[in-house]
Structure 1
Amino acid sequence: MIDKIKLVLALILVAAGVAGFYLLSEHALVVRILAVLAGIIAAVVVFWSTPLGREAFAFVQDSAAEARRVVWPTRKETIQTTVAVFVLVMVMAVFLWLVDIGFLWGVKMLMGRGA
């Protein structure tokens, strides 16, 4: 039950930060942004104190570690893939255009308005 209260408190802190942004409309933009950041930071601290928060942060850390292990394509591979996709799109566009022309001709013939 305490964890659910902490989660609700974290949401309230984020909402308070956003509300502070609008309530401080007569102040400098830096102060307004700091109000939002303070609300978000306080919410993260409260969220991290729950088991769900610790699991979420562990998941984020694992995801970041996995992203570092990804083998990204080289520039040459990226260009080749982009060209292949572009060519396929053009071929499909011509094919669908021809199918559309065929359907147009067929409908005209069925309606008796053929050339």
Structure 2
Amino acid sequence: MKSLLMWLALLLVITTTLSAQNSDSLRMLGNRAYSSRDFATAARFYVETTQSEGAESSDYYNAACSFALANNSEMALSYLDSAFLYGFGSIPQALADPDLSSIRGSSQFQKI
């Protein structure tokens, strides 16, 4: 019985570690695509990051910025709203971030 519990604990540790590495890897791919100005691809990687264990509110924010730069206002606004719902707390950053300039004038942005 102790042996089984040890194996289950080890499996849990390995799974958690792999999940964290996966979100870090996806985040890194998003950052790389963003730096290459491939905003649609960056958005896709950031969205995948939000769906992985270890997602952070900044992943939603980065997805919003990437969608805005890829001229997808609807998705940008949706992910910006999610960023704040999941704890992104920098309203001044969202108000000043040039990445979000294409959506800043919308009524939905003002509601967020």
TM-score band (shorter)? 0.3 to 0.5
Greater fraction helix: 1
**Which structure would you say has the larger Rg?**
1
